[in-house]
Structures are given as C-alpha cells and as structure tokens.
Chain A
Amino acid sequence: MLRKSIVWIVFAIVLLVLPQIFTSIFSISIFTQMTIAIVFALSYNMLLGQGGMLSFGHAVYFGLGGFLAVHALMMIENEEMMFSVTLIPLVGGLFGLIAALFIGSFSTHKAGTVFAMISLGMGELIAASSLILVSFFGGEAGVSGDRTYGPPFFGYDFAQGIEVYYLAAAWMFVATLCMYLFTQTPAGRMANAVRDNPERAEFIGYSARRVRFISFAMAGFFAGIAGGLFAVNYEILTEENLNAASSGRVLLMAYIGGLGFFIGPIVGAIVLTLINSLLSNYTTLWMLYLGILFVLTVMFLPRGLTGFLMMHRVPWHLGKLRLLAVPYTLTSMPGAVFLLGLVAMIEMSHASGSEFVYLGIALNPDGYGSWAFLLAVTGVAFYVLRLTLPRLRDAWSEANTITRKPDHAAKESGGQS
C-alpha cells in the first residue's frame, strides 16, 4: 500500500516539476498533448487491455465529448451559462458517458469480431454524420470556442499555455488514479475475468454482457474527459477528432505501449506524442516510420514496449541483469548504424536538390558515390549485427536460468552429455 502511494506521489511531483525544467512554450505544449493522450489511451485500454474489446471507433467518445465541451465553452462565452473552464472536461466526460451508455447498450452483447465490427460501423456512421449535421459539428471547419471567458479560477484565466498544462495535468492525474482504482474494484476485476473467459464468468454469477457494458461506459466517460481537455487546449474540434484515423491512433498508442499493463498506454502515449511532435520537425516521412514501428511491434513485441521492459524482471530478480549489459551494447551499436543507414537512404531518396546533409555528413542524392557509401555502411552494419545475435541469445537464456548449486549443475550436465 505504502509503496503504491509513493508511486502516485512521485507521479504527481513529476507532473508539477516537469514544466519548471523544460520551460519553453513548445515543450509545455508537448506536455499538455501528452496528458490528453494519456487519458485517451488509458481509456482505450479499459476496453482492449482490461476488457478484451477491440474497438475501431473509440475516438467517437473522445470527439463527442470534445464537441460538447466546445459548445459549453461557447455558452460560457455567450453568457448563457456560468461555470469555470476547469469543469469543461467533466462536461466532455459526461457526454462521452451518455454516448457510450447508448451505443454500449447494443454493442457489448458480444466481444470479438462482432464488437469490433459494430465499433467500426458506429465510428464511420458518426464521423460521416458529423459532416452532415453542420449545426452541431460545424461541418468540415469544425466548431471553435474560447477558453478565457469563464470566471477566473483563483485568478487564472487560462490564457497561458502553462495554466492549461496544469489544468490538464490535474485532470489527467485524477483520471489516471480513478482508472487505476477501477481495475481494483469488483467490476474491474471481473472485466479481466470476462476478457479471459466470458463463458466461465457467467457460471460464477456474472453477466459477461453487463461486465463489458460497465467497462465500455467507463471507457466512454474517460475518453470524453480527454476530449474535453482537448477542447480546452485547442479550442477547436473537427471531424478529424472522431474519425477512424483518430480511433486507429489510440489503438496504436495503447498497443505500442503495451496492452497488458496499466502503465503500457501511458508509455505509448508519451512515445507517440514525442514521435508526433519531435520527429515531424525533422522529417515529412514520420508517419511512415510510425507505420513501420507499429507493424514491427505487433510482430516482435506483442506485449508492447512495456512488455519488453517487463521481460527483464526475471533476470533482475535473479540478479543477472548485468550479464546482458555487454551483449546489449555489442548488438545495439551495429543495430544503430544499420537503422541510421536505412533511414539515411529513405530520407535521401526523398531529398530535394543536390545537397543532403545527414548527421553532419554531406551527401549527394544524385551521385552514385553517396548511395554506394550508404549501402556499404548499412550492409556491413547488418552483417555485424547478425554476428552479435547468437551471443545476445545465449546471454538472454543464461540470464533467465536459475543457477543451481555447483554439484547439482555438474550432475545434470553430466547426465545430458
């Protein structure tokens, strides 16, 4: 209990201190995006990771929450309603909840493919309708509001990015805590049970459908909160925020981060926000890299980045983590060169003009020399990479083996040979 409280306190302190260390407007804007992405990705994990429901339309609840939040901002602006902007995310959450209660009432009947298809259909349906119902959704242009009109909150009017960050961070902290606590409640525990084996859950007294419905409604609520935060941050919502691409992006985040772990989607949200905002400054091809990263993750790290880190728990408990240090270094050096070489070739093929500077090296996209050089470097790096793999593999199995007493081990190896 104490250890868990410490984790949450450290989390809160990090959230408080972060914008004091990275003070630029750009980094604070990234932090705000991260907090929103974290709430959204965690809400998605309530469906797929905790409840076993693969949704291709989760952005609907994010978007609907966001749209209503913008309308609430407009009502504050027009003085039709008077309440603090700090409560806007709750408005989004409640609308997300209402939408999820309605859609969940028929979509949670089954998990698996049927659920996935209904979520896809509802997602497309609502995204397409949003372009038709112009008065609520604003058509292609979307709807926009202004967050600074509400009554000041202890003197803050949220004109500054940093104020918005703290508002978003506070909501994110509370939402994350609530979502974590939900996993520890009877409904949350049964969500996992139904994910694992819906049939058996019915024979211990639980309606699998009702259990899924509760998780679904909760996920809609928290997605709506994320949408509300988005509305406060960007002051505009468009069809893009609730369409299939958005739904795909949150699936990406949760999956790359790691579905089976509570912090997985947090990791995914942070990594993807960074890729999104940092990588896009350096290359127009960042979406391509993201696609490659996603496909490779599904193929080689089915439990995501968090799962990869968690794989090291056994060596750590055995006190053998240091066995991996040297092989990891040996593999990662040619690995890094190989990746950089590959990226260089991808980028160079898209470079305009005859000058292409990569990591301080001037290359000529039109000349054969530069291509031959890159091919050679990448090829050699790949060859060396392959040479280091057996050692890594051996070290890995060694690090995961419980060392027996010497005589015992000798007897066993003697018996085998």
Chain B
Amino acid sequence: MSLLQLQNVSKSFGETAIIRDVSLSIAQGEKHAIIGPNGAGKSTLFNLISGRYGVSSGNILFKGNPIHNLKPFEIARMGLARSFQVTNIFPLLSVFENIRCGLLWSMDYRYSFWNLVSRQKALNARTEAVLEEIGLHDRRNFPAGELAYAEQRALELGIAIASGAEMILLDEPVAGMSHSEAKNAVALIRKVTEGKTLVMVEHDMSIVFDVADRITVLVYGEVIASDVPAKIRGNPRVQEAYLGEVVTGDGVEATHA
C-alpha cells in the first residue's frame, strides 16, 4: 500500500508553472530519492507535500487521507516530518531545547501549560537519545545559532526525525558538507530512518544510488522517470535531461569538462 500518493499535482506561481501534473506513489518503508537539475521544482514539490504551499490542482494523499488542504502543523501531526534545504532551526534555543521542541507534540504535550518540561522523564530521556544519535550530545547547551554548519545540518535532521514520524522528507541533507561530513551524515540518515519511509532530494548521485530503493527524476516540473536505480541509470531520457552527463553509480560526471 502506498503511504504517500500524489495525483496530478500542479503548482503555478502567477503565470509560471513550476510543477506540472505530477503523479507519484511512495510505498511504506520505501527509500525514495527525487533528483533533477536545478530549478526542476524538487523543493517546491516538498513544500507542496508538507503544506507550506497549497497546490494549484491535484490531490495529495497521506495514509489515504487528502492533505493538500491542510496546514503544515496538521500534516506534521499525521506523522510526516521534513527538513529544509536552508537550515531552519530555532537559533536562540539551546541544541537540547531544539530537539525537545521537536518531540513535544508527538509525545502528546500539545499546548499544555500545566506540565513542567524539566519533570518529564520520558521526554528528556528521548531528547538525550536523539542528541546521542545525531552526535550533538556534547553541544547540548549551546545556542543552536552558534553551531558550526555541519552541526546545524545534523540538528536540522534531528528536529525532523525527533518526533518519530513515519515519513520523513529530507531536502538536500548533505548540501554544503565536506566529503567526510557527508559520509557521516549518510550513515546517520540510514540509522535514523531505519524502518521509516524516506523521501530525499539530493544532488550527490553517489548518495542517491547508495540510499534509494526508488528514484524519481523531475525535469521542468514534470516526472520523466520513476523507477528502481538500475533502470533509472539506463534510461535514455534521464541521460538526455542531464545534458550529456553520464549517470554512474559513483556520481555524475560531465563528459564535456
């Protein structure tokens, strides 16, 4: 059964159509990557799914329920979490607080003003566990805004996965990281999305082919292919879309360097 379904989704900003008639189905437990050249609409697609923008037409179903008219927080409560391409954290709160805030709703604290967070053993233990997972334990008391870039990316990921959402959307999780940082981040992503459904936008083909069970190629707002990695690699339309670039397992190599 598919966990997330996009049915003929389109999105225009004024005259400009960014997403054109995209249909997509992502199964429970799948690791799905969305690739495509810059400006293909990958981030817009994420923003549509997560409720940041409304769709111009079409339906989005999550667990069989339409979510394209819901607000971001309503979608998040259904168990769909996301991270952002541009780091989007709570800069003045401590690292610990950032993660704990990510946990509050999923642990059913809602808007309560009668519980003291410091007294909630399960909440704090879970926060510690997430901090341990993302490797920011020794940074727990730093204001998040003062972390190094790679640490902020890890925190970004941590906030997204803290709630234990069934489906996680990651928007270029390793963008701007050094090779070794990216390697650690991928290992981390693997670990924390174990048994979850993952949708990821990523430019680094080695990571995409390493992590993904299925790949969707988006070009100019249209899906030109959606298949298992082996078939995507051999797809001539994909090759063409990457303008002479040869898609290999090790990454994209430009032939006209």
Kindly state whether residue A201 has any CB partner on chain B within 8 Å: yes
Q: Which of B36-44, B73-81, B240-248 contacts A (4 or more CB under 8 A)?
A: B73-81
Interchain CA distance A3-B73 in the complex, whole Å? 37
Chain A binder among B10-18, B25-33, B99-107: B99-107
Is there an interface contact between B90 and A187, defined as CB atoms closer than 8 Å?
no
Q: A186-B112, A190-B111 are in contact. Are A203 and B100 (CB under 8 A)?
A: no
Expressed in whole angstroms, the minimum distance between the Cβ of B95 and any Cβ of chain A is 13
Contacts of A210 in B (CB 8 A): 111
Complex alpha-carbon distance, A373 and B113, angstroms? 61
Which residues of chain A in 214-264 are interfacial with respect to chain B, using CB atoms and an 8 Å cutoff?
Answer: 214, 218, 260
- Which of A32-40, A91-99, A177-185, A324-332 has 4 or more CB atoms under 8 Å from chain B? A177-185
Chain A residues 295-337 with CB under 8 Å of chain B are: none
Q: How far is the CA of A189 from the CA of B113 in the complex (A)?
A: 10
Say yes or no: A203 contacts B106, CB within 8 Å.
Answer: no
Stretch in contact with the other chain, from A58-66, A107-115, A192-200, A350-358: A192-200
Report which B residues bind A (CB closer than 8 A): 50, 52, 71-73, 76-77, 81-82, 84, 88-93, 97, 100-102, 104-106, 109-118, 159, 162-163
A200 lies within 8 A of B116 (CB) = no
Q: Is the interface of A mostly helix, strand, loop or mixed?
A: helix
**What's the Cα separation between A205 and B88 when bound, in Å?**
15
* Secondary structure type dominating chain B contacts: loop
List the A side residues contacting B101 at CB < 8 Å: 189-190, 193, 201, 204
Known contacts A184-B116, A184-B118, A189-B101; is-contact A202 B93 (Cβ 8 Å) = no
**Do A196 and B93 touch across chains, with their CB atoms under 8 A apart?**
yes
What total of chain A residues lie within 8 Å of the partner, measured CB to CB?
A: 28
**Chain A residues within an 8 Å CB radius of B73:** 201-207
CA distance A252 to B110 in the complex (A): 33
Beyond the given pairs A200-B84, A211-B111, 17 more chain A to chain B contacts, judged by CB atoms under 8 angstroms and listed by A's residue number, are A184-B117, A185-B112, A187-B113, A189-B100, A189-B104, A189-B117, A190-B104, A192-B97, A195-B92, A197-B90, A199-B88, A202-B73, A203-B73, A203-B82, A205-B77, A205-B104, A206-B73
Q: A186-B111, A214-B111 are in contact. Are A200 and B77 (CB under 8 A)?
A: no
Whether B113 pairs with A202 at a CB distance below 8 angstroms is no
A202–B90 CB distance below 8 A: no
Is A265 located at the chain interface by the 8 A CB criterion?
no
From A182, A186, A196, contact of B90 by CB (8 A): A196
Q: A189-B101, A196-B91, A197-B89 are in contact. Are A204 and B163 (CB under 8 A)?
A: yes
- Chain B minimum-CB-distance residue to A211: B111
